[in-house]
Structure 1
Amino acid sequence: MLDWLYEIVAQLIVWIHTGLSTVVPKDSGWAWGGTIILLTVLLRLAMVPLFVKQIHASRKMQELGPEVQKLRKKYKNDKQRLNQEVMKLYQENGANPLSGCLPILVQMPVFIGLFQVLKKISDADEGKGVFAMTADLVKSAQKAPIFGAHIPDTFLNAWGADEKNWTALAITAVAVVISSITTFFTVRASMKRQPVTDENNPMMQAQKMMVFLAPLFGLFGLGFPLGVLMYWVTSNSWTLVQQHYIYSKYPPIGADTNGSGTTKGAPTKSTGTKTKLKKSTEPEPEPEPKPKVVRNQPTRKPRSKRSGSPKR
């Protein structure tokens, strides 16, 4: 079903290997290892626009986070209406939660295609070609030494062999460990970038799952050919560097402020402002109560005294 994909990957390998063969011996590990690394770099360069789109999607989701929380409180007892209102909010603001998953969705077919091509190379009988690769190229790839190991070598096969190839065991084990660690840190970096989270965001759910699956991927890597592990290590290393650069260029919303609405590290306008703010925060002393003024009201004298007539 996916033979067309495998043909494309195999043809890319042939073209890159042919170009490198003009610089290094065509049957060397430098030629075949360099082919895998260069193929990975070219594919990741092609996916840079998707990664930038993922960053913009993440920022848009952060901007809409408070509005989504308001909708949650308003329709907390009606999930169907809540989903409708949230989707309406995303559409009105041009946000797409799934756009953050595009790099992963695009990268997976490449990984599957490369895995299948390298597996076919590893299992190919002598004198057999693989997709766009001739029998001579397949044999050259199988025998090319890469630090004492070969592209078809896997950790499990090297461990289960009667005569263990300790060099192949060491190379594949190191590649598996590096792949697992870099996978964990790339996903963790994506998670830390999103201070305002939406639990129903498919991108967030996929990233949370990836954090816990990173060690499990390491176990799967024990059965991967060295060529696939080289792709994995190169791709993850590229992602770490790319994340550091793009994240510094597009910081998360709110990361450039100190929580008071001003840019972190920005100088204040004047010292008078600081003093005024400081004084406003201190409670003012209560004024002392004024002494009560007692007015002596004249007493009413008897009428007889006012008129001069004797009192009866």
Structure 2
Amino acid sequence: MDRKSWIIVTLCVILAGVNLYYVQENQKLAQAEAARKKQEEAAKKAVAAPAAATPAAAPATGAAPAAPAPVETPEETHSLKVGTVTYELTSKGGGIARAALAGTDRVLLNKNGLEPVGALRREAAGMDSIAYKLTAKSDKSATFEGTTSEGIVVTKTYTLTEGAEGDEHLVDLKITLKNTGTAQHRSEEYYLYAGAATALKHDDGRYDGFFWNNAGDAAYELSKYFGKGFFSEAPTEYRHSYNALRYGGVMTRFYTHILSRMAEKDAPAKFWSSRRKLAQPIDAANIGKADIEDFAYDAAMSLPVVDLAPGASVTEHYQIYLGPKEYDRLSRIGHQRSYAMFYGYFKIVSIALSKVMRWMHDISGSWGLAVILLTIFVRLCLWPIHAKSTMTMKRMGLLGPLMKELQEKYKDNPQQQQLETMKLYKDYGVNPLGGCLPLFLQFPIFIGLYSVLEVAAELRGQSFWWVQDLAAADTQGHFLGISINPLPLIMGLTMVAQMKLTPQPATVDKTQQRIFMLMPLFFLWISYDFAAALALYWSTQNIFSIFQTRIMKLYMPEPKLEKVAHKPAAAAATAQNPFFNTGAPAKDKKKGPKPPRLGG
């Protein structure tokens, strides 16, 4: 065969191998899904078996009467209220059925949960089938107790937290397992349910996901994790074992559930998460639309290995956080929970700006003013960089005529044209990167601030001027089916004005100028439905930049086109190394007659 045939055969073999690999992987996923469904069916049959095994009522003859059917334990509920949070506890699963957040939040967490937060499962995807009783309750705590079919007495005590690391969104959970049987009991399959998280509206579904912290290394997966790949089916769940699992949970754009193990020493544990399609869409406007799908994200975290001798017991301490994703709050309650903010690559910048924004709010008393003051603060810090960039671009603008002369003179010799251009920059002391480099220095700050404002739960429900919610678009009405958002429109207009006042480099041609003029329209299109806080930040930045350009024009002298005097290079000493000889004849150090040469 020729070379082309060998290449085709090799590619076919490689593709066949790739196809075989993914077929095997899909078979494994299908087998795992079948096994999971079989376990769920077995669990349902086990629950239904006692009721089915109850004998029918005895006939009116002299036969012995049948045993009465077991009476289902009535549900017992209790509420714990602290600050703006009300925890609704139930004996059905022995945990927190709902957490109602009042104030500006107005959110019901675990609304779509399969069972209460804190439910004890014998399989991650199973259900807590223990019949609990509410054995003690007060204004600050509640205790549930139940017994498994294996004779393990489970006691759960939920207590409101207090003190420096306490918070209205944080609840203590102490769970005790006691072996009342006569045999050793050992299991690695005890899971605490962390609840279910659901976006507040359909468009926020991309922020939903789950996360975990293994020995201080926090990581997460968003909703796209459950999407279908190019060569694989969509995963149905996430399962993994960790050597030091400190916490795990689920999150949405603004709220999160964090289940943390509180112990002096880390221990191995497992984490599980999955998602379920909701029966009804989140937004009422989407009801009846078949192409709209909304999901709930569940998670569970296993207990360390339980190994109990007859009569022995073990107690584990956990804390449950059900509340907003606020860096200041999560940082204050400690135990690395602030790692669950997941700001991205510029996390340090985001954290610093988040603290500054909260400080600005403490000064002004308004989150809208805090965003404006934060923007001005950032622009003031960047003023020297912006001024240097502007002066460099103005000097490059003065080089325009000389640049055009070089382009005409060396239009047939691009290499020489490039050399002459660099020489021109050097003669006049202009750094071609001086106008662009400051923009790259501002990039981390912009991304960091964007990450803060995009998921800042502090801004949710906060009004400012005509804006009703800084965390949502400032829609004031509709025209021909298009929403009218004033802040993005202001942002677009101020961006056009800013570009008109910004000097353009000499190398920018008419085509590039047209592209630059289309940039405001492009940014307006992609950011039209952004949160009002982001549009407010961007508009404030543009207005401040216009003001800054005006101040610089009034009070800073215009640059002049002058050549830079370069210092002459010092005369190099005569090289002693023959490899660096300049080629000039060596001079004798001493003048005079040379000695005669011997040998004729």
What's the TM-score once normalised by structure 2's chain length? 0.32
Unaligned runs of 5+ in 2: 1-341, 561-600
CA contact (8 A) 1:175 1:233 kept: yes
Amino acid at match of 1:11: A
Read off the aligned partner of 1:3 and give its amino acid letter: G
Q: Paired residue for 2:195? A: none
1:17 to 358, 368, 375: 358
CA distance in 2, matches of 1:14, 1:206: 39
CA–CA separation in structure 1 for the residues paired with 2:360 and 2:506? 46
| 1:185 pairs with one of 474, 492, 497 | 497
> How many Å separate the matches in 1 of 2:486 and 2:413?
51
| Residue number among 141, 146, 150 corresponding to 2:469 in the alignment | 150
Q: Distance in 2 between matches of 1:228 and 1:6?
A: 18
Specify the SS of the correspondent of 1:144.
coil
RMSD between superposed Cα atoms in Å: 3.2
Cα distance in 2 for residues equivalent to 1:63 and 1:232:
30
SS in 2 for 1:90: helix
Distance 2:516 2:439 in 1: 11
Cα separation, partners in 2 of 1:115 and 1:95, compared to 1, 3 Å: same
Count matched residues.
215
Kindly indicate whether the alpha-carbon contact (under 8 Å) linking 2:498 and 2:545 is maintained by their aligned counterparts in 1.
Answer: yes
**Counterpart in the other structure of 2:379:** 44
Say if 1:22 and 1:92 are closer, same or farther in 2 by CA, change over 3 A.
closer
Report the equivalent of 2:410: 75
1:150 aligns to what SS in structure 2?
A: coil
User: 2:307 maps to which residue?
Assistant: none
Identify if the C-alpha distance between structure 1 residues 95 and 113 changes in structure 2 by more than 3 Å, giving closer, same or farther.
same
Distance 1:190 1:149, change over 3 A: same
- Give CA deviations for 1:203-236 in whole Å, capped at 9, x if unaligned: x987653322112211112121111111101100
For the residue of structure 2 that corresponds to 1:149, the secondary structure is: coil
Question: 1:14 Cα deviation (Å)?
Answer: 2.6
Aligned to 2:401: 66
What's 1:260 paired with?
Answer: none
Q: 1:176 aligns with which of 477, 488, 507?
A: 488
Cα deviation for residue 51 of structure 1 reads 1.9
Q: Indicate the structure whose relative CO is greater, using CA pairs within 8 Å and at least 6 residues apart.
A: 1
- The residue that corresponds to 2:537 in the other structure is 231
Structure 1 residue 182: deviation in Å? 0.5
Would the alpha carbon gap of residues 241 and 178 (structure 1) be closer, same or farther in structure 2, given more than 3 Å must change?
A: same
Contact kept in structure 2, 1:33 and 1:227, CA below 8 Å: yes
Offset at 1:67? Answer: 2.8
Question: Residue 435 of structure 2 corresponds to which residue in structure 1?
Answer: 100
CA distance in 1, matches of 2:359, 2:388: 34
CA contact (8 A) 1:65 1:198 kept: yes
Q: Which has the higher strand share?
A: 2
Contact 1:152–1:227 (8 Å) recurs in 2: yes
In structure 2, what is the equivalent of residue 275 of structure 1? Answer: none
Give the structure 2 partner of residue 128 of structure 1.
none
Report the counterpart of residue 198 of structure 1 in structure 2.
507
Q: Mapping of 1:134-283 within 5 angstroms?
A: 138=457, 140-147=458-465, 148-154=467-473, 173-191=485-503, 197-199=506-508, 209-250=515-556
Distance across 2 between alignment mates of 1:84 and 1:187: 31
Q: CA deviation at 1:252?
A: 5.5
Deviation sequence 1:132-158 (CA, Å, 0-9, x none): xxxxxx3x43232223421220268x9
**How far off is 1:64 after superposition?**
2.8
Shift of 1:247: 2.0
Whole-angstrom distance in 2 between the partners of 1:216 and 1:59: 26
Cα distance in 1, alignment partners of residues 538 and 360 from structure 2: 22
Mapped contact 2:474–2:486 kept (Cα < 8 A): no
Kept in 2, the 8 Å contact 1:152–1:225? The answer is yes
Aligned counterpart in structure 2 of residue 54 of structure 1, from 369, 379, 389: 389
**Structure 2 CA distance, aligned partners of 1:250 and 1:97?**
21
CA-CA distance at 1:250 after TM superposition:
4.2
How much has 1:2 moved relative to structure 2? 7.0
* Structure holding more helix per residue: 1
**Deviation, structure 1 residue 96:** 1.6
Q: CA deviation at 1:174?
A: 0.9
Q: SS of the residue aligned with 2:529?
A: coil
Question: What amino acid is aligned across from residue 12 of structure 1 in structure 2?
Answer: L
Contact 2:463 2:469 in 1 (8 A): yes
Report whether the alignment pairs 1:89 with 2:424: yes
SS in structure 1 at match of 2:507: coil
Q: Secondary structure at the match of 2:436?
A: helix
Give yes or no for contact 2:399–2:506 (8 Å, CA) kept in 1: no
Residue 189 of structure 1: how far off its partner (Å): 1.3
Aligned partner of 1:198: which letter? T
Three-state SS of the structure 1 residue aligned to 2:412 is: coil
- Give the residue type in structure 2 aligned to 1:142: R
Q: Which amino acid aligns with 1:151?
A: L
Q: Is the 8 A contact 1:55 1:250 kept in 2?
A: no
Change (3 A) 1:48 1:199: same
How far apart, in 2, do the equivalents of 1:19 and 1:249 lie?
30
C-alpha separation in 2, matches of 1:240 and 1:64: 24
Give the CA deviation at 1:90: 0.9
Instruction: Name the CA distance, whole Å, in 2 between partners of 1:199 and 1:22.
Output: 44
Structure 1 contact 55–100 (Cα < 8 Å) conserved: yes
8 Å contact from structure 1 (residues 190, 207) kept in 2: no
Q: Distance in 2 between matches of 1:155 and 1:219?
A: 15
Counterpart code for 1:152: A
CA distance in 2, matches of 1:35, 1:77: 57
CA separation of 1:9 and 1:35: change in aligned 2, threshold 3 A: farther
> 1 CA distance for matches of 2:406 and 2:513?
24
Deviations 1:92-129 (A, max 9, x none): 332122211244333333232222222223xxxxxxxx
CA 1:66 to 1:155, structure 2 compared with 1: closer, same or farther past 3 Å?
A: same
